[in-house]
């Protein structure tokens, strides 16, 4: 018989210990909410209960409300699936009960977990317990009274900071702020909490209701000043996310009209937000990231990941130094190989600079940076490769060089060693075709800068062993990346899907649309920068090399122009030399360089695609669609060829690899929110007007005509599977 998710145990001291048992993080699923209500009702009825302690099983208090319920609400639109918690449980059952409650908090109390603790009359926590309200990352606001109780316990400024930035704090900081009443060891937690609860019941300690406190709120005018500043910041940093302003609305309501009025306002806003496109998108991305850990015939066949103690990185340039940095930060010993001492010294300095950059940003302590650097050794030959568990090749994109290196490392490394390449475009079968170890060859495609960007594409061929794939996925998690398993093709999943992004922008520019207007539209949509500023940042050499690669791989569906070459010939190379489409000066934001217009005009003259020689007239929405619909179209081809395991893998890859706005749910999810029919109709129209670059894929056409979502699979799929 399954154990109840909430149990009650009444001791001889008169304290009822209510325990939440819903592994792995004691999420507040509807059965847990119902169990809390039932056990509280029992505790209130029983004459032998004087006070209550709530604790979580398994060393964790609670990770918050069960996010799977949000997904069900999104699918059905049925708000009744959300249990009644805010007033019925938190206020009526716990906070206003005739017997006091103490939260015995350990491990973590996040979201609804912290809100539950704040509804209690005191909070005792173990050291290093994590406390926070991260609900805004899911497109909603705290919904169990958090917008009211947190400001009353820690002050408005700190509470707003924690909620709007989804910033957690430790129990030690919580004690300083007044969120936590005492910090004790794990062994002391339960006994100490029980004594505290009895002291409240016997009036030896104050019986405090968080919702009714006002001592930390300050005056209404002071509060409104703080909230106004927070609103202005949120408009700048999160212009497309309504939950930030709603959170501040709820806080302000409570300050102006009292905690109970604030709770009612919070509940109303929460119910509106949970059905918003923003919440649907963010919840989808959250669950999509979880799903990447499950790969059929890899993670479900009983394999155990091998421990990687020592790795080697070949090439200490921008990518190689970033990869080495990520590995040593993950406590993996790294051998960095270069061809000569000058290159090696440069690579070691770049790694040191990467670590110091993290120290400067306060993301790493100096001690940890020093420890990480001690795990690095530079070499000029393969003598140290005899006991490495993995090699990652990160040299320039030159087939003959990579083939030569793989021939050498096959001989130098032990038979179990993973042979990985960081190539972003070259077919893995070509890289390893001269070896006899093709079952060990895998792509470890990092994104630049490799020690910062969170995505790792794990690229497999038909011959890559399941063990190697599982091992690389595990390494990815150790170094705090999100590994997404993808198939082998030009550009793999992310670069393949997004090659039409810049090309679509180039097409628009050559049809007469202003370069800076295109960038503004794409930035307003939520990309961190427009395609032309991105080109400046990446450098024009990359644009030329990648453009040629995709033109060769996908003839008939690319758009090319001489513009980048003309920019190079004019002495521009983007951010690296301070001049591109924009001007770059140290300490200043990039400024549009209007003198680039003459180069643009020359490129337009050479390409000559403007209808009747006149610029086209388009709305901002059409600009957005003409840039992004070709990307969705290529995503359809990637899905058709089964380059990814599931559509949501492409969503999370687009968010983490290309910074597609997470609140739009990722590329395919966004495409589905628009509808295959509209995308297909637009692309077909543009293909007739402007050529084959816009031609809809068969996959998109099929879904448009059948009224299916892009993420749907069909029985005809799979004939060209790369997985």
List active site positions: 115, 135
Q: What is the dihedral of CA 39, 32, 116, 98, to 10 degrees?
A: -20
Rounded to whole angstroms, the Cα distance separating 450 from 461 reads: 23
Give the contacts of 462 (CB within 8 A, at least 6 positions apart).
488, 722
Picking from 679, 672, 625, the residue whose alpha carbon sits closest to that of residue 648 is 672
Q: Do β-strands 455-459 and 482-486 pair in parallel, antiparallel, or remain unpaired?
A: parallel
Give the DSSP per-residue string, 38-71. Answer: HHHHHHHH-TT--EEEEEEGGG--B--B-HHHHH
Query: Nearest Cα to 349, choosing from 317, 323, 396, 319?
Result: 317
Secondary structure letter of residue 94 according to DSSP: I
Paired tokens of 642: 């089964």
Q: Hey, which bits of 225-332 come out as E strands?
A: 310-314
Q: Residue 310's beta-bridge partner residues?
A: 333
The single-letter DSSP state of residue 662 is G
616 exposure class (CB count in 10 Å sphere: 0-12, 13-18, 19+): middle
CA 261-168-199 angle, 5° bins: 65
470 token code pair: 């599982």
Q: Report the 10 Å Cβ neighbour count for 710.
A: 25
Indicate if the alpha-carbon torsion angle 447, 451, 457, 459 is positive or negative. Answer: positive
User: What Å distances lie between residue 70 and 73, 78, 113, 472, CA to CA?
Assistant: 5, 10, 16, 32
CA distances (Å), 686 to each of 399, 496, 671, 694, in order? Answer: 37, 21, 17, 6
Report in angstroms the alpha-carbon separations of 198 from 114, 188, 328: 22, 16, 50
E strands, 115-213, in order? 122-126, 130-132, 169-170, 182-184
Distance (Å, whole) CA 180 – CA 171: 7
Helix (H) or strand (E) holding 507: helix 494-510
How many whole angstroms separate alpha carbon 156 and alpha carbon 138?
A: 22
Q: Is 239 exposed, middle or buried (0-12, 13-18, 19+ CB in 10 A)?
A: exposed
Is residue 438 within 8 A of residue 461, CB to CB? The reply is: yes
For the purposes of burial, counting CB atoms within 10 Å of the CB of 465, is it exposed (0-12), middle (13-18) or buried (19 or more)? middle
By CB neighbour count within 10 A (0-12 exposed, 13-18 middle, 19+ buried), where does 2 fall? Answer: exposed
User: Which string of b and e fits 354-389 if b means at least 16 CB within 10 Å?
Assistant: bbebbeeeeebeeeebeebbebbebeeebebbeebb
Give the pair of three-digit tokens for residue 547. 């453009």
Q: Indicate the SS3 state at residue 398.
A: coil
Is-contact 493 649, C-beta < 8 A? yes
């Amino acid at each position: 018989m399954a154990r109840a998710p909430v149990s009650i145990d009444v001791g001889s001291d008169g304290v009822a210990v209510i325990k939440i048992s819903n592994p792995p993080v004691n999420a507040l699923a509807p059965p847990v909410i119902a169990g809390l209500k039932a056990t509280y009702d029992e505790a209130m009825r029983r004459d032998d209960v004087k006070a209550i302690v709530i604790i979580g099983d398994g060393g964790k208090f609670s990770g918050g409300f069960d996010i799977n319920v949000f997904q069900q609400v999104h699918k059905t639109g049925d708000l009744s699936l959300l249990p009644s918690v805010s007033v019925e449980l938190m206020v009526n059952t716990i906070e206003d009960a005739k017997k006091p409650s103490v939260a015995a908090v350990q491990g973590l109390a996040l979201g609804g977990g912290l809100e539950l603790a704040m509804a209690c009359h005191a909070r005792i926590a173990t050291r290093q317990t994590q406390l926070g309200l991260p609900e805004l990352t899911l497109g909603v606001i705290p919904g169990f009274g958090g917008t009211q109780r947190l400001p009353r316990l820690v002050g408005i400024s700190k509470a707003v900071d924690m909620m709007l930035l989804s910033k957690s704090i430790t129990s030690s900081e919580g004690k300083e702020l007044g969120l936590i009443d005492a910090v004790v060891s794990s062994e002391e937690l339960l006994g100490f909490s029980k004594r505290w609860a009895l002291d409240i019941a016997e009036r030896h300690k104050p019986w405090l209701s968080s919702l009714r406190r006002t001592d930390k709120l300050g005056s209404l005018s002071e509060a409104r000043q703080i909230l106004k500043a927070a609103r202005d910041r949120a408009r700048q940093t999160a212009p497309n996310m309504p939950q930030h302003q709603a959170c501040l609305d709820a806080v302000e309501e409570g300050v102006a009209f009292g905690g109970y009025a604030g709770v009612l306002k919070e509940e109303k806003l929460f119910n509106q937000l949970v059905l918003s496109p923003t919440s649907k998108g963010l919840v989808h991305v959250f669950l999509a990231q979880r799903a990447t850990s499950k790969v059929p015939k890899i993670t479900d066949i009983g394999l155990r990941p091998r421990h990687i103690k020592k790795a080697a990185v070949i090439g200490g340039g921008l990518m190689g130094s970033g990869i080495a940095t990520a590995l040593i930060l993950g406590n993996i010993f790294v051998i960095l190989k270069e061809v000569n001492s000058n290159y090696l010294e440069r690579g070691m300095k770049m790694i040191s600079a990467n670590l110091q950059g993290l120290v400067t940003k306060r993301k790493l302590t100096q001690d940890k940076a020093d420890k990480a650097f001690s795990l690095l050794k530079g070499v000029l030959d393969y003598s140290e490769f005899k006991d490495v568990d993995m090699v990652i090749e990160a040299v320039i994109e030159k087939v003959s060089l990579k083939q030569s290196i793989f021939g050498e490392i096959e001989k130098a490394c032990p038979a179990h060693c993973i042979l990985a390449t960081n190539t972003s475009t070259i077919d893995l079968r070509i890289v390893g075709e001269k070896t006899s170890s093709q079952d060990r060859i895998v792509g470890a495609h990092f994104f630049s800068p490799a020690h910062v960007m969170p995505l790792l594409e794990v690229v497999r061929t038909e011959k890559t062993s399941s063990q190697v794939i599982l091992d690389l996925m595990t390494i990815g998690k150790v170094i705090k990346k999100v590994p997404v398993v993808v198939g082998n093709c030009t550009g793999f999943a992310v670069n393949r899907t997004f090659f039409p992004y810049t090309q679509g922008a180039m097409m628009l520019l050559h049809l007469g649309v202003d370069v800076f207007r295109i960038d503004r539209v794409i930035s307003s949509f939520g990309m961190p920068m427009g395609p032309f500023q991105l080109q400046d940042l990446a450098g024009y050499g990359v644009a030329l090399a990648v453009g040629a690669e995709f033109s060769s791989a996908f003839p008939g569906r690319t758009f090319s122009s001489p513009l980048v070459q003309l920019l190079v010939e004019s002495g521009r190379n983007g951010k690296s030399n301070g001049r591109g489409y924009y001007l770059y000066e140290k300490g200043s934001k990039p400024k549009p360089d209007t003198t680039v217009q003459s180069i643009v005009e020359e490129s337009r003259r050479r390409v000559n695609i403007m209808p009747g020689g006149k610029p086209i007239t388009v709305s901002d929405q059409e600009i957005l669609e003409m840039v992004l619909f070709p990307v969705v179209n290529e995503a359809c081809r990637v899905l058709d060829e089964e380059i990814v395991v599931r559509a949501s893998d492409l969503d999370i890859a687009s968010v983490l690899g290309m910074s597609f706005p997470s609140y739009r749910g990722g590329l395919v999810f966004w495409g589905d929110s628009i509808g295959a029919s509209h995308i297909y109709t637009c692309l077909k129209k543009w293909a007739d007007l402007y050529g084959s670059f816009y031609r809809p894929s068969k996959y998109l056409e099929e879904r448009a005509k059948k009224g299916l979502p892009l993420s749907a699979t069909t029985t005809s799929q799979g004939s060209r599977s790369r997985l």
